[in-house]
Amino acid sequence: MTQIERGGASVEVTVGDITALKVDAIVNAANSSLLGGGGVDGAIHRAAGPELLEECRTIGGCPAGEARITFGYQLPATRVIHTVGPVWHGGAKGEDEVLASAYRASFALARENGLRTIAFPAISTGIYGFPKCRAAHIATREALTAAETGQFRRIVLVCFSDGDAATYGRALETAAG
């Protein structure tokens, strides 16, 4: 695990199951329908129970780069922030900015709802094909920026594998200077 203290917050990179974390909010790397899917999205929906899907049906979707919030239901986290990252098209279609916006929108919803501990998966790096190293630099930059506001106590970047955690850990150390 890599950990940096910034602005009174701990920014951590770890390998684990985001659905098992006891934080105020976990972030769901969702598709634009918010109605569940594969990967992290499917795992969060399964762990939260059918009430999450019921609430998501009332939201009306979410465009890429934005975020929506629901309750956590059967998760240890009290809230789920659903964000939609970009599909990778080679990098010339604004993908970096859309990914950064997804992180910023998630942090903004957390602040608006008084949530001080938050965990993120590696947004857009699965089926959406965003290059992991590039995504890691964006994620860690946005996490450190949010930490500097002093409004968070703990920000966790949860990776699926040791290799991904090493990539995100290096990016966090680079971003922290």
Condensed to tens digits (0 to 9), the pLDDT of residues 13-69 reads 999 999 999 999 999 999 999 999 889 999 999 999 999 999 999 999 999 999 999
**What is the DSSP-derived secondary structure letter of residue 88?**
P
CATH number of 2-176: 3.40.220.10
Token pair recorded at residue 88: 């990778």
List, in sequence order, every residue forming a beta bridge with 80; answer none if it has no partner: 26, 70
Where in the sequence numbering do the catalytic residues fall?
41
The per-residue pLDDT for 94 is 97
Condensed to tens digits (0 to 9), the pLDDT of residues 92-120 reads 999 999 999 999 999 999 999 999 999 99
**Every domain of the chain and the residues it spans:** 2-176
pTM of the model: 0.97
Tell me if 83 sits within 8 A of 64, measured CB to CB.
Answer: no
Token pair recorded at residue 94: 């604004």
Tell me if 118 sits within 8 A of 155, measured CB to CB.
Answer: yes
